[in-house]
């Protein structure tokens, strides 16, 4: 055993070491707390910035400090080159929304006369002609109508392409013009539909047409009528991409913090399914209205139909929560409850005896053909989906409305919420 003096000396060293460790730990806790406070203070500053931008100058002064200069999104952000493919109603609304975000916006179309009017009068003479495309403080939207002009515009570094062409024309157009599409250009798809010749989701069809798997893609969807975006009615959308930062890029150029708010998602499969397969359901909603049924019936239809859409989303690899959001229930409610929807109007006309061929002579109704693909997907996934199947049968006149009612209302009793 050691002597008492040596033991006392060791105890002293241990006590000194323990004190040093305690002081170091205390200092570490202090500095960590200080850093956390700085982080929280920065979060508060940013929150105040978002709040204060809605206040007039006198109101900011009343708060004691004007943080307007701290808002990074609307103040001092660099212009983004945005090329919109298509000058229809929704393409026009997307171009206007991107311009409101302070970006340099170009619209590509085939019609030279339409292009000339957009450049000279700042309005689209063919679609939404009553709305001006001029945005104060921002460069006016420019129209172009030749592939050479488009090729020049797409040379801009970091260019973003907003695709607003009809679904069935999209893959052929990209196949024909793939050489002018930069491999690193982000393509934001706004068409809500499936490519019928191959029964593909639009994203898969576009990548096949471009013959490249690495092309950055995002998908913008949600409850939105083009005219209401142009009027400035508050609208919310969602943009999805496998690479979330690409969705954030679209969010930044489209959100204007006044009338248009864009959320992000990392579920492009669910968002595409919600946007495409709500179309045949809207045809079914139109049939209900055409039969003179009331709100009870329509509300039940929309709710139970959303459950079938959720089942299909899960089976095809999407996130069911996407169907609960703007790209699912939001879009479904918009198109089922509003007579502005072409699919809803089509359902009303079909149930009153008009033929599909006559209805589609002057307008494209995506829900008609998409109903066929929905049943194909259901069969592939082994799903029953009775509402989808009844709507499909009614479109093709295989059953009567009376029989459809019996088929749906006569089903066995069950629990409402089922875990899939």
What DSSP character marks residue 332?
H
Active site residue 278: yes
Beta bridge partners of 186: 160
Interatomic CA distance for residues 276 and 271, integer angstroms? 9
Interatomic CA distance for residues 326 and 76, integer angstroms? 30
Task: With beta carbons less than 8 A apart as the criterion, state whether 97 and 107 touch.
Answer: no
Task: With beta carbons less than 8 A apart as the criterion, state whether 221 and 335 touch.
Answer: no
Rounded to 5 degrees, what are φ and ψ at 381? Answer: -95, 0
Show the CA angle centred on residue 375, arms to residues 374 and 376, nearest 5°: 90
With residues binned 3-state (H G I as helix, E B as strand, rest as coil), the percentages for the chain, rounded to 5, are 55, 10, 35
Interatomic CA distance for residues 166 and 341, integer angstroms? 16
**236 contacts: CB under 8 Å, gap ≥ 6:** 222, 223, 260, 261, 262, 263, 326, 330
195 three-class SS: strand
| Residue of 366, 325, 341 whose CA lies nearest to 169 | 366
Rg (CA), the chain: 28
Interatomic CA distance for residues 82 and 154, integer angstroms? 9
Using the Cα atoms of residue 200, residue 201, residue 202 and residue 206 in order, give the sign of their dihedral: negative
Q: Which helix (H) or strand (E) holds 346?
A: helix 342-351
- Which of these is catalytic: 13, 57, 231, 278? 278
Distant-in-sequence contacts of 47-51, Cβ < 8 A, 24+ apart: 50/257
Buried-exposed string 150-187: b where 16+ CB fall within 10 A, e elsewhere: beebbebeebbbbbbbebbebbebbeebeeebbeebbb
Known catalytic residues are 278
């Amino acid at each position: 055993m050691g002597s008492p003096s040596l033991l006392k000396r060791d105890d002293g060293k241990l006590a000194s070491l323990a004190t040093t460790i305690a002081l170091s730990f205390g200092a570490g806790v202090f500095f960590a707390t200080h850093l956390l406070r700085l982080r929280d203070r920065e979060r508060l500053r940013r929150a105040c910035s978002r709040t204060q931008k809605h206040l007039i100058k006198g109101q900011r002064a009343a708060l004691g400090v004007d943080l307007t200069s701290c808002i990074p999104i609307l103040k001092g952000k660099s212009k983004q080159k945005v090329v919109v493919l298509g000058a229809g109603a929704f393409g026009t609304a997307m171009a206007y929304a991107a311009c409101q975000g302070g970006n340099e916006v170009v619209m590509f179309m085939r019609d030279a006369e339409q292009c000339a009017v957009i450049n000279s009068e700042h309005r689209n003479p063919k679609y939404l002609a009553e709305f001006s495309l001029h945005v104060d403080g921002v460069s006016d939207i420019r129209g172009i109508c030749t592939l050479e002009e488009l090729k020049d515009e797409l040379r801009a570094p970091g260019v973003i392409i907003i695709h607003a062409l009809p679904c069935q024309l999209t893959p052929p157009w990209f196949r024909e013009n793939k050489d002018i599409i930069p491999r690193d250009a982000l393509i934001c798809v706004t068409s809500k539909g499936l490519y019928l010749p191959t029964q593909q989701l639009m994203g898969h069809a576009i990548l096949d047409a471009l013959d490249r798997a690495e092309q950055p893609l995002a998908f913008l969807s949600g409850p939105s009528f083009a005219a209401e975006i142009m009027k400035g009615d508050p609208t919310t959308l969602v943009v999805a991409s496998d690479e979330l930062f690409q969705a954030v890029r679209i969010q930044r150029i489209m959100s204007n913090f006044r009338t248009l708010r864009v959320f992000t998602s990392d579920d492009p499969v669910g968002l595409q399914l919600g946007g495409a397969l709500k179309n045949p359901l809207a045809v079914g909603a139109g049939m209900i209205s055409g039969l003179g049924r009331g709100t009870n019936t329509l509300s039940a239809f929309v709710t139970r139909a959303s459950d079938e859409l959720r089942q299909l989303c899960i089976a095809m690899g999407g996130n069911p929560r996407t169907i609960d959001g703007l790209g699912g229930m939001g879009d479904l409610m918009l198109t089922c409850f509003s007579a502005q929807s072409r699919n809803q109007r089509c359902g009303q006309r079909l149930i009153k005896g008009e033929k599909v061929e006559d209805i589609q002579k002057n307008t494209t109704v995506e829900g008609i053909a998409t109903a066929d693909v929905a049943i194909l997907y259901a069969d592939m996934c082994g799903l029953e989906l009775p509402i989808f199947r009844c709507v499909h049968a009614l479109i093709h006149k295989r059953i009567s409305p009376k029989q459809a009612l019996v088929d749906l209302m006569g089903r066995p009793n069950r629990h409402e919420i089922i875990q899939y």
